[in-house]
Amino acid sequence: MIKPSKRSSQLIASPIRKFWPLAVAAKKQGIEVLKLNIGDPDLSLPQEIQKSLRKINLKNLGYAPSAGLIENVDAWRTYYQTFGLNFERENIIPTTGATEGILFSLLTVADPGEEILVFEPLYTNYKALAGLANVILKPITLKLENNFQLPPEGEIIKKISAKTRAIIIINPDNPTGKVWSVKELKTIIKIAKKYNLYIIADETYREIVFTGRPGSILNLAGARERVILLDSVSKRFSIPGMRIGIIASYNKIVMQTILKLAMARLSAPTIGQLLTISALKNSRRYTRKIAAEYRRRSETVQAGLRKIPGVTYNQPAGAFYQVIKLPVAKADDFIRFMLEDFHYQSQTLLVAPMEDFYLTPGLGQQEIRLAYVLESKKLQQAITILKLGLEQYLGQKPK
Ligand SMILES: Cc1ncc(COP(=O)(O)O)c(C=O)c1O
| Torsion over CA: 315, 320, 321, 322 (sign) | positive
Do 59 and 31 belong to one domain? Answer: no
Measured in residues, the chain has a length of 399
pLDDT value of position 1: 87
pLDDT score for 398:
53
Query: For position 389, which CATH number holds?
Result: 3.90.1150.10
Is residue 1 situated within a structural domain? no
45 DSSP 8-state letter: P
Last residue of a domain, one of 226, 256, 283: 283
DSSP, collapsed to helix, strand or coil, labels residue 368 as strand
Structural domain contains residue 398 = no
**Are 195 and 107 members of one domain?**
yes
With a 6 A CB cut-off, is 267 part of the ligand 1 pocket?
no
Q: What is the pLDDT of residue 270?
A: 97
> 250 with 115, same domain?
yes
Quote the pTM value. 0.96
Considering the domain architecture, whether residues 123 and 255 belong to the same structural domain is answered as yes
In the prediction, which pLDDT does 12 show? 76
Using most ligand atoms within 8 A of CB, pick from 99, 102, 106, 124 the residue to mutate for ligand 1.
99
- Sequential DSSP letters for 194-217: HTT-EEEEE-TTTT-BSSS----G
174 lines ligand 1 (CB under 6 A): yes
Structural domain includes residue 354: yes
What is residue 396's predicted lDDT score, i.e. its pLDDT? Answer: 78
Residue 167 and residue 243 in one domain: yes
**Residues 40 and 93 placed together within one structural domain of the fold:** no
Residue 155 burial by Cβ neighbours in a 10 Å radius (0-12, 13-18, 19+): exposed
231 Cβ closer than 6 Å to some ligand 1 atom? no
Nearest ligand 1 atom, CA 244: 10
pLDDT attached to residue 7: 86
Same domain (yes/no): 187, 334: no
User: Are 251 and 232 within one domain?
Assistant: yes
- Spans of the chain, pLDDT less than 50: 399
Q: Is 232 in the pocket of ligand 1 (CB under 6 A)?
A: yes
Digit-coded pLDDT (tens) for 178-208: 999 999 999 999 999 999 999 999 999 999 9
Q: Is 240 in the pocket of ligand 1 (CB under 6 A)?
A: yes
Report the separation in Å between the CA atom of 77 and the middle of ligand 1, taken as the mean of its atom positions: 20
In this structure, is residue 399 part of a structural domain? no
**235 CA to centre of ligand 1 in angstroms:** 8
Closest CA to 14 of 95, 108, 91, 128: 128
Its domain, for residue 370, covers 6-44+284-393
CA distance 169 to 182: 13
Q: Kindly state whether residues 260 and 341 are assigned to the same domain.
A: no
Domain check: are 63 and 81 in the same one?
A: yes
Query: If we measure between CA atoms, which residue out of 90, 98, 77, 96 comes closest to residue 266?
Result: 96
Q: For the chain, how many structural domains are there in total? A: 2
In terms of domains, do 53 and 30 share one? no
CA-closest residue to ligand 1 atom 14: 39
CATH of the domain at 88: 3.40.640.10
> Closest Cα partner for 74 from 88, 85, 95?
88
Clarify whether residues 190 and 117 are in a common domain: yes
> Exposed, middle or buried by CB within 10 Å (0-12, 13-18, 19+), for 378?
middle
- Alpha carbon nearest to ligand 1 atom 4, residue: 98
